[in-house]
Amino acid sequence: MKKRYEVLLALDTRGKEDNAKDTIERLEKEFIAEGADIEQIQRLEKRDLSYEHNHIKSAYFVNFILEIDPTKLDRLRGKFKLDSEVSLYNFIALPAKTAAAA
């Protein structure tokens, strides 16, 4: 059974700021390949990090709202850990989407 999550990603775009769109599209395809239903993609912009992480002082943030089988999360975390363009990531469980009141 799929559950709803918010996935915040900090992308390392050093030297390839113009390619953030391509990276986001690639990540979207990875989510879909794992069976995710993407509800929303929020491109938040490039921001300075509170602290330097792996010699990165700023990152481009993107937020995915999606539904996915929780058993796929470990696999996605493993992919992100090996992905040179994903600097930081965070998964937050969200409440199930409720039907709009009639």
What pLDDT, on a 0 to 100 scale, did the predictor assign at position 76? 93
The answer to the question of residue 57 being in a domain is yes
The answer to the question of residue 100 being in a domain is no
Dump pLDDT digits (tens) for 35-92: 999 999 999 888 888 877 777 888 889 999 999 999 999 999 999 999 999 999 999 9
Report the predicted TM-score, pTM, of the whole model to 2 decimal places.
Answer: 0.85
What pLDDT, on a 0 to 100 scale, did the predictor assign at position 30? 95
The amino acid that residue 75 corresponds to is R
The answer to the question of residue 59 being in a domain is yes
pLDDT of residue 102 exceeding 90, the answer is no
Residue with the bigger pLDDT between 97 and 62: it is: 62
State the residue range of the domain holding 32. 3-93
61 CB-near residues (< 8 Å, 6+ apart): 8, 9, 10, 11, 44, 45, 46, 47
